[in-house]
Amino acid sequence: MPSDRLPSEITAPEEPRVTPAGVDADALLQASPNPYVILDPALTIVGMNEAYLRVTMRKRADILGRNMFEAFPSDPDAVNGRQLRMSFERVLRDKRTDHLPLIRYDIPRAGGEGFEERFWSATHTPLLDAGGEVSHILQHTVDVTELQRLRQLAHAGIGAAGPSALVESDVFARAEAVQSENMALADEGRRLRALFEQAPGFMALLQGPRHVFELANAAYLRLVGNRDVQGKAVRDALPDVAGQGFFELLDRVYATGVPYVGAGMRVRLQGDPGGEADDRFVDFIYQPIRDPSGRVAGIFVQGHDITEQKRAEQALQRLNATLEDEVAERTRELRERDEALRQAQKMEVVGQLTGGVAHDFNNLLQVVVGNLEILQRNLPPETARLRRAAENAMTGARRAATLTQRLLAFSRRQPLDPRPLSPNKLVSDMSELLHRTLGETVAVETVLAAGLWLVDADANQLESAVLNLAVNARDAMPGGGKLTIETANTRIDEAYAAQHAEVTPGQYVVICVSDTGTGMSKDTIARAFEPFFTTKEAGKGTGLGLSMVYGFVKQSGGHVKIYSELGHGTCVRIYLPRFLGSLEQDPVADVAAIPEGTHDETVLVVEDDDDVRTYSVEILRELGYRVVEAHDGASALRLLERQARVDLLFTDVVLPGGVTGADLAREALALRPGLSVLFTTGYARDAIVHHGRLDPGVHLITKPFSYADLAQKVRDVLDAEQQSQA
Ligand SMILES: Nc1ncnc2c1ncn2[C@@H]1O[C@H](COP(=O)(O)OP(=O)(O)OP(=O)(O)O)[C@@H](O)[C@H]1O
Ligand SMILES: [Mg+2]
């Protein structure tokens, strides 16, 4: 038995030296019957005495220079091995003696065959160097295996009253108390560690002025992309955080001991190892941790990743911002609507006023004109001066009547004679009048939509509305320019209708009169429809032209709108509601208008679209032509070879089967040199139209064409051919 001395009797390092002069400390240690082993801070065995070798049954050479746990391997997860490790750690950290009253630490049998069960009581004493750091640990072990066996026997009821009872009450009672306390502490440590590990917030413990990670929980590691931070200084562990102020904050907290609380702070971090840096938002505290002497020894970091919350907030903010925009937009719309309504009401009031005046004025004019007529009829022929005076008076009265008419039109009180009509026809019929009115310097172009709907309107008034717009356009282009009249089907949607007073959503025909003239300022646009508003010099304009247009269109259930930009030109759009019935037949006029065939002229119709071909064939037969038909170029050529008489080849430009309309025409003319050719096309104008003009002898009708269009065109082409042959 090596020794029965209690560990507490070992000399503590801070006590004065006890070895008498002349006695070698090493020899003393060697002579001691108690086993001693000396470890360095890395737990390498650097020395031991004979007693130690005896109790551990080892040779010096086998264990010297080896790690304690390598020299005496045990199951590292076993409680006792861990207790031993923890005791060493405490000594190194606290620089104080640590006791392990009773641990089971089995040692390999001398023969190398398995382990032998051993119980020990150990004391670990730090040996400090001149700087106060732990340079070595002195382990003093007492082999208490025999005592433990005795105790086990006592428990089993053998020799209960023997010396073991005494041992029981003394050594083991103390040992057990300390040990169970240690175990409880270890348990508590584990529980705290588990709590720390599982805490929802992030936590880390940084040690020393370089902020070395001593602990970091799972949430913290998640935040930093599961990097291995343990044992590293923050600047080394998280290099991507450099330059964002966090390290400097840590330095400050460490230096001043004043905690720092950060709220909603942005940190740019690599969320994935090697991945893109990512913005995270964190709430956190840097809490200085003090050692027993009160000096700051580390910093406890604790906080929450609030990135998701922050993103949600930002999304909400964006939503709010757009909401503001939307409200602003709605407000603007409302204001515009208000303005439009106010304008419409003003026009209404002015209309009522002028309407009343005009009505009375008309009656007065009736009297004036009637009496002037009586005067003119009854003035004797020799009173030439008086006659001239009456004539002048009459001219003035008629002009006054025209003005009055316009005023009535503006006030929407003129008698209208609405009938279903095609705006396209009305515009085409006006072309002669327009050319005459506008003069040489203004080019007129009409762009008439195919398949235009009908409207129900007063033709004369619509004509004078278009004429008024054309005259305004001319006046705005003193140096000449271009007037375009365009027609189209259109839909006024709810949104547009909401922006304009007195406008109902629905289908409309729009007639757009545009010019390349001076354009109008915003103010002029705002006032242009007002009666008597003119920018023209006195005597040049009455300011009633647009008023008339406005009144007439409104009275017809339509809408009129000016688009204009100073220096660029003006476009006035007249919207008239679509009329869903058909044109009233005027049998005399219609029969007279449509030119027919002679019942012996033959037309070859080449068209691959069955519907279009059937339609064309039907029209032509109805018009008095003989018709033969083909669906492609090859069969058309075969027909030409067989058919006795063909006066006109009417072919689509685009044909299937490799022979185009142009190819067909060329070969057909080679077969029959006098043949007339009329092309039709839905697009591909360029295939036969060069430089905007048709090649000589080539005629073209664009799809979709109407009955009347085709009748006219076919007649024209045949007549032209006859003339050239005559
Ligand atoms: N196409 C246009 N280009 C530029 N300004 C125009 C155009 N149409 C009208 N305006 C402006 O609107 C004003 C009012 O036009 P409106 O047709 O009602 O009267 P007016 O042309 O001045 O007189 P009147 O039509 O009786 O000859 C014009 O004086 C002109 O300033
Ligand atoms: Mg005018």
The number of C-alpha atoms within 13 Å of 599 and in the hemisphere containing its C-beta is 0
DSSP H helices in 477-609:
494-499, 522-527, 545-555, 587-593
- Å from CA of 543 to ligand 1 middle: 7
Chain length of the chain: 726
For atom 7 of ligand 1, the residue with the nearest CA is: 472
Question: What is the reported pLDDT for 674?
Answer: 83
User: Burial code of 144-178, b = ≥16 C-beta within 10 A, e = fewer?
Assistant: bbebbebbeebeeeeeeeeebeebbeebbebbeee
686 secondary structure, DSSP code:
G
- Give the pLDDT score at 83: 81
Q: How far is the CA of 578 from the centre of ligand 1 (A)?
A: 28
Residue 592 pLDDT exceeds 70:
no
pLDDT score, position 682: 62
Protein residue with its CA nearest to atom 25 in ligand 1 = 545
Ligand 1 binding residues, C-beta < 6 A: 472-473, 476, 515, 517-520, 524, 528, 533-536, 541-547, 570
CB neighbourhood size of 512 (10 A): 19
What is the distance in A from the centroid of ligand 2 to the CA of 468? 6
Tell which one of 534, 573, 574 to mutate to probe ligand 1, the residue whose CB is within 8 A of the most ligand atoms.
534
The CA angle 451-549-581, to the nearest 5 degrees, is 35
Q: What is the pLDDT at residue 172?
A: 59
Minimum CA distance residue for ligand 1 atom 12:
528
Tokens 């040692």 belong to 107
Q: What pLDDT, in 10s, does the model give residues 20-31?
A: 777 777 888 888
**Range in 321-330, 523-532, 624-633 the model is least confident about:** 321-330
- pLDDT tier for residue 295 given thresholds of 50, 70 and 90: very high
> Any idea which ligand is nearest the CA of 565?
1
Name the closest ligand to CA 572. 1
* pLDDT confidence bin for 19, thresholds 50/70/90: low
Closest Cα to atom 22, ligand 1: which residue?
534
Alpha-carbon gap, residue 669 to 687, rounded angstroms = 18
Residues β-bridged to residue 454: 579
Taking residues 431-438, what's their average pLDDT?
88
Distance, CA of 69 to chain centre: 64
- Asked whether residue 137 carries a pLDDT value surpassing 90, the answer given is yes
Question: Is 80 exceeded by the pLDDT of residue 41?
Answer: yes
* Closest protein CA for atom 1 of ligand 1: 473
For ligand 1, atom 29: residue with the closest CA: 534
Task: Tell me the residue type at 608.
Answer: D
Contact at 8 Å (CB) between 434 and 464?
no
Q: Which residue's CA is the nearest one to ligand 1's atom 17?
A: 545
Among 2-16, 469-483, 590-604, 632-646, where is mean pLDDT lowest?
2-16
Nearest of 200, 260, 207 to residue 230 by alpha carbon = 207
pLDDT level of residue 208 (50, 70, 90 thresholds): very high
Mean pLDDT of 195-210: 91
Output the six-digit token pair for 337: 């609507």
Q: What is the pLDDT of residue 593?
A: 66
Helix ranges, 584-628 (H): 587-593, 610-622
β-strands 277-290, 260-270: how paired?
antiparallel
Cα–ligand 2 centroid distance for 489 (angstroms): 26
Strands 115-116 and 107-108: antiparallel
pLDDT band at 79 (very low <50, low <70, confident <90, very high): low
347-358 pLDDT, tens digit per residue, is 888 888 887 788
Tokens of 434: 């327009």
d(CA 69, CA 108): 12
Distance 535 CA to ligand 1 centre (A): 7
| Angstrom distances, CA of residue 467 to CA of 83, 426, 432, 479, 514 | 110, 11, 12, 19, 12
Is pLDDT larger for residue 179 or for residue 612? 612
Looking at ligand 1, which residue's alpha carbon is closest to its atom 27?
A: 541
State the average pLDDT over residues 526-532.
Answer: 91
C-alpha span between 513 and 515 (Å, rounded) = 7
Q: What is the pLDDT of residues 407-423, one digit of tens each?
A: 888 888 777 788 899 99
Given a cut of 70, whether residue 300 has pLDDT beyond it is yes
Distance (angstroms) between ligand 2 centre and the Cα of 399 equals: 15
Tell me, in angstroms, the distance from the centre of ligand 2 to residue 448's CA: 24
Which pLDDT score is estimated for 12?
45
Nearest CA to ligand 1 atom 26: 542
- Specify the pLDDT at position 272: 76
pLDDT at 399 over 80: yes
Residue-level pLDDT at 112: 65
> What does the pLDDT average to over 392-400?
88
**pLDDT for 660:** 85
Whether omega before 415 lies within 30 degrees of 0, making that bond cis, reads no
To test the pocket of ligand 1, the residue of 546, 549, 560, 571 to mutate (highest count of ligand atoms within 8 Å of its CB) is 546
Q: What does the pLDDT average to over 472-501?
A: 91
pLDDT in tens, 228-279: 899 999 999 999 999 999 999 999 999 999 999 999 899 998 877 777 888 8
Most confident of 604-608, 640-644, 677-681: 604-608
Q: Is the pLDDT of residue 159 over 70?
A: no
C-alpha distance from residue 598 to each of 604, 620, 645, 700, 712 (Å): 15, 11, 14, 22, 14
Above 70 in pLDDT, residue 200?
yes
Distance 469 CA to ligand 2 centre (A): 7
Most confident of 590-594, 639-643, 700-704: 639-643
| Per-residue confidence (pLDDT) for residue 594, from 0 to 100 | 77
**Least confident range of 40-44, 188-192, 625-629, 682-686:** 682-686
**pLDDT at site 1:** 39
Residue 11 has pLDDT above 50, yes or no: no
Q: Assess contact for 227 and 221: CB atoms under 8 A.
A: yes
Please give the full DSSP string across 643-660, using - where no structure is assigned. Answer: -S---EEEEESS-SSS--
Query: Distance between terminal CA atoms of the chain?
Result: 151
The residue contributing the CA closest to ligand 1 atom 28 is 534
* CB of 457 closer than 8 Å to CB of 578: no
Residue type, 125: T
Ligand 1 centroid from CA 400, angstroms: 19
Cα 140 to its chain centre, rounded Å, is: 75
Q: Look at residue 287 and tell me whether its pLDDT is greater than 90.
A: yes
Measured in angstroms, how far is the CA atom of residue 65 from the centroid of ligand 1?
Answer: 112
As a whole number of angstroms, the distance between CA 629 and CA 606 comes to 6
Cα separation, 102 vs 167, whole angstroms: 14
What tokens were used for 92? 């190194």
In 3D space, the residue among 48, 83, 75 whose CA is nearest the CA of residue 181 turns out to be 83
Atom 8 (ligand 1) nearest CA: 472
Q: What percent of the chain has pLDDT over 70?
A: 87
Name residue 618's amino acid: E
At residue 582, what are phi and psi to the nearest 5 degrees? -115, 170
Q: What is the mean pLDDT of residues 422-447?
A: 91
Q: Which ligand is nearest to the CA of 481?
A: 1
The pLDDT score that the predictor gives to residue 160 is 46
Q: Which of 114-118, 286-290, 708-712 has the highest mean pLDDT?
A: 286-290
Query: Which ligand has the minimum distance to the alpha carbon of residue 548?
Result: 1
Judged by its nearest atom, the ligand closest to the C-alpha of residue 533 is 1
Residue 64 has pLDDT above 70, yes or no: yes
299-308, 532-541, 593-602, 701-710: least confident range: 701-710
Q: What is the mean pLDDT of residues 609-626?
A: 85
Q: Which residues contact 308 (CB under 8 A, 6 or more apart)?
A: none
Rounded to the nearest angstrom, the distance between the alpha carbon of 341 and the centre of ligand 2 is: 24
Q: What is the pLDDT of residue 704?
A: 60
pLDDT of residue 697 exceeding 80, the answer is no
Ligand nearest to the Cα of 474, by number: 1
Task: Give residues with Cβ within 8 angstroms of 657, minimum separation 6.
Answer: 632, 633, 634
